[in-house]
Structure 1
Amino acid sequence: MNLPKPTETPAANILVVDDDGFMRMQLRVYLQKEGHRVELAENGEEALAKFAEIKPEVVLMDALMPVMDGFACCQTLMKNYQNPSPLVLMITGLDDETSVDRAFEAGAIDYVTKPIHWAVLRQRVKRLLYQSRLQHQLESANQMLERLAKIDQLTQLANRHQLDLFLNTEWPEAIREQYPFSILLCDIDYFKNYNDHYGHQGGDDCLQQVAKALSRVVHRPKDLAARYGGEEFLMALPNTDLEGAIHIGENIQAEIARLAIPHARSAIANHVTLSIGCASTIPCLGSSWEQLVAAADKYLYEAKAQGRNRLVSGRWGEEAMG
């Protein structure tokens, strides 16, 4: 994955914190000439309020100030804001090694010395912004890769890996809390015939339309719609009893019927239909979500045997799971 190159001289929001009014003005004029947007604060307390308001990319802060010095302010910023942490450039005396050590201990990422060498300040601000924006791009890329690892690329639903992670998390919670758990297993009727007639591109388009319909119906934060394999889709419904799951399944079938996707090679209709198996239980110790999925698969088989385009459901009780 190629990352865009960060801008060579990026403009940024910069907060300048210094109790010396003349120094504040000098820093603002210089930084504005570099194209940056500059806010000012006279001490650490004012800096904290300004930071919360404008969220600057860089804070240029004097180490020694009244009310709240730069070290205390920097520590507070690092405590209150994380991922990413603020980029603080501390201003110290030329020979003040103790302040430099304290600045890094407080969380500052770099420092500049007084009297300020403007070319040095320019390069340090520029380098910080470059590193910061490159880091943000890398984090975005990593988030995208993580998402790609969990999403079926054709349908944009959860893939089997994400489904397993979800069920392995939610099933134990359902056992602890003793609330119902339901599974809907859906299969597109005569999908092989559909592919043979409309081609694989047509089949892919059909799968995408069905997936979007499922997403419109199954949208509670706790629910998960996944591509289970081929033309099969699985809906995991924590804290949903059998009646609730049947209602969702019927809504899915109604949504598919509303789409009226033409299916010239269906033996039961002239449009795409779904067969659905619905299983529900209150999980008990020793049970597994795989057993509930197997029960939903059994009901799906019965729906197909009864002529397809229907929903067959049942409760999967403790005795059956044992």
Structure 2
Amino acid sequence: ERIKSYGDIIAAATADEIRSVRPGESIGMRELAVAITLHVAIRVVFSVADADRRTEYTRAVTALMRANTAPLMLVPALRRELGGHGPWARLVRLRDDLDRLLSDDMALRQPDSPAGADMLDVLLSAVDPDATGEPGLAIHDQLRTLLAAGHETTATSMMWALYHIYRDESVRERVAAELAHCRAPAEITALPYLGAVIKEALRLHPPVPIVLRRLKEPLTVGGVACAAGKIVGIALYALHFNPSVWPDPDRFDPDRFLRSRISPFEYAPFGGGYRRCIGAAFASCELAVAIATIMQTLELRMPEREQNRREPRSVARGIAVAPAREITLDVIDRQPVAVTGGGR
């Protein structure tokens, strides 16, 4: 229910991040997308509008994400301190730095006050009668997850969507035509073709390409028996590129999502079941509003050399997979009117 009210924040944050962009420049999609999504995450989680405070959070979250490498996530044996040195010790120090910022903001809130407009208020107002342990530590875990998972995965999806929009002129023209008479974020999130472009980008490039679950009872899939307690995974690339479900699966074709309804057993960029990503609706809203704000504010063009290159591979970047190379767009002009919200 809160997502609609966040549209104005997303539009304002995106406008802030592209305010200084000028014609004749080239902008890197990764740097821009990460800046926008982290700005949005900080504003939505904490309502931090002050630029200096936001910079503190940006530095802390960025440093923590860079230190949280794939080996540390996937190999538990590496998670040990060696006399205060090593990758794990550094990660713990950076986590503690971010936690100090979180604690400072939590101390300014009243736990028994009505939930406000940001996620910190929502968490502080929530009560779990069955919870054990220190409540503050649990909230720190949730806040770190919201800040980390809530921006890097969305940034990756934004990069891929912009890549396909500006690589194919017909796609760009159709999105631009939808946006021509659409300004309010609430209208933007309902645009069918823009929504289809985002869904198709997520099909081709799911930011987290495997969904893991621990089995509560034995399960046999494709003749392979798995015991209770085992961790199994759904490989989203195998699902999203299955030619029996997706004709010509390697082709970027947003119209797939306009021609028919897609089953959650065929398409799962946000996982599935009751553990489906809780931020799925917000991520879709953020992608639509941010892309619309960029397109209605800047006239961009993909350099010819990039258009003629093969599509970049997806490689691991932190907790998500992203284009293996930086994708740049040339700034041709600034448009006179940007997407605006309701005065937030």
Q: Do they superpose with TM above 0.5?
A: no
TM-score by length of 1: 0.22
Larger radius of gyration: 1
- In terms of fraction of residues, the more strand-rich structure is 1
Structure possessing the higher relative contact order (Cα contacts under 8 Å, 6 or more residues apart): 2
